[in-house]
Amino acid sequence: MLTLYHCADARSFRPLWALEELGLPYELKLLPFPPRFREPAYLEENPLGTIPYLVDGATRMTESAAIVQYLATRDGETALSVAPGDPDYGAWLNWLHHGEATLTFPQTLVLRYRLLEPEERRLPQAADDYARWFNVRLREGLARTLADGREWLVAGRFTGADISVAYALLLAKTLRIDSDWAEPVRAYWDRCAARPAFARAKAVQKGGLFG
């Protein structure tokens, strides 16, 4: 049985959504955010105190995009994977990790310096700068890619790459830094959010941003 430690709408939403898309049995352990402070016993399971944390037998994983890749490929090819040798394999891997490294990273600094730090430690200018960084990366990457009318990022179908990128859009909407999105990006978000597995993942976590 796969076990996923999760905070509502945190990065762990990526593997949760993947589990629902793949129909894999799993146990979900919901934690308050940030768990390293609000659930100290969690540090005995994951000394980093970070979310997500996936347990699969002897396997332990903490990186959200890597977990999506793992789930998509652990039992061979799945609907979420693109096989080595496929012309879109490199693009699949690139978008899978682009969603985290390029799109989610600057948003974590917006989140920190607008919302999570005590009032006296907040840095509005830094938060605004990283919000602009996110939107430039979104415009020059995702918006350009979708401008040709494609429905999904690679292979002509929904894959784990879409889960990774769409989570970055979910976070952006929550942080209210989505006002400058191009129409292809908004339409892409709507397609992702309309998927039944997305709705199931949102329902099973029973909460909003980080719980």
How confident is the model over 149-173, as pLDDT tens digits? 999 999 999 999 999 999 999 999 9
Count of other CB atoms within 10 angstroms of residue 92: 25
Cα 132 to Cα 107: distance, rounded to the nearest angstrom: 10
Helix (H) / strand (E) element for 203: namely helix 196-205
Is the model's pLDDT at 24 over the cut of 70? yes
Is the model's pLDDT at 208 over the cut of 70? no
Is 113:96 a contact under the CB 8 Å cutoff? no
Of the chain, the percentage scoring pLDDT greater than 70 comes to 98
* pLDDT the model gives residue 53: 98
* pLDDT the model gives residue 210: 67
* pLDDT the model gives residue 206: 85
Q: What is the DSSP letter of 51?
A: S
Count of other CB atoms within 10 angstroms of residue 101: 11
Cα 108 to Cα 177: distance, rounded to the nearest angstrom: 12
Is the model's pLDDT at 175 over the cut of 80? yes
Cα 106 to Cα 103: distance, rounded to the nearest angstrom: 7
Tell me the whole-structure pTM to 2 decimals.
0.95
How confident is the model over 80-99, as pLDDT tens digits? 999 999 999 999 999 999 99
* pLDDT the model gives residue 211: 59
Taking the C-alpha atoms of 25, 27, 33 and 34 in order, what is their torsion angle to the nearest 10 degrees? -100
The mean of the pLDDT values for the chain is: 95
Taking the C-alpha atoms of 5, 10, 15 and 17 in order, what is their torsion angle to the nearest 10 degrees? 120
How confident is the model over 109-125, as pLDDT tens digits? 999 999 989 999 999 99
Is 163:79 a contact under the CB 8 Å cutoff? no
Is the model's pLDDT at 196 over the cut of 90? yes
* HEC letters along 63-113: CHHHHHHHHHHCCCCCCCCCCCCCCCHHHHHHHHHHHHHHHHHHHHHHHHH
CA atoms within 13 A on the CB side of 179: 5
Site of tokens 């940030």: 34
Is the model's pLDDT at 3 over the cut of 70? yes
Cα 78 to Cα 206: distance, rounded to the nearest angstrom: 27
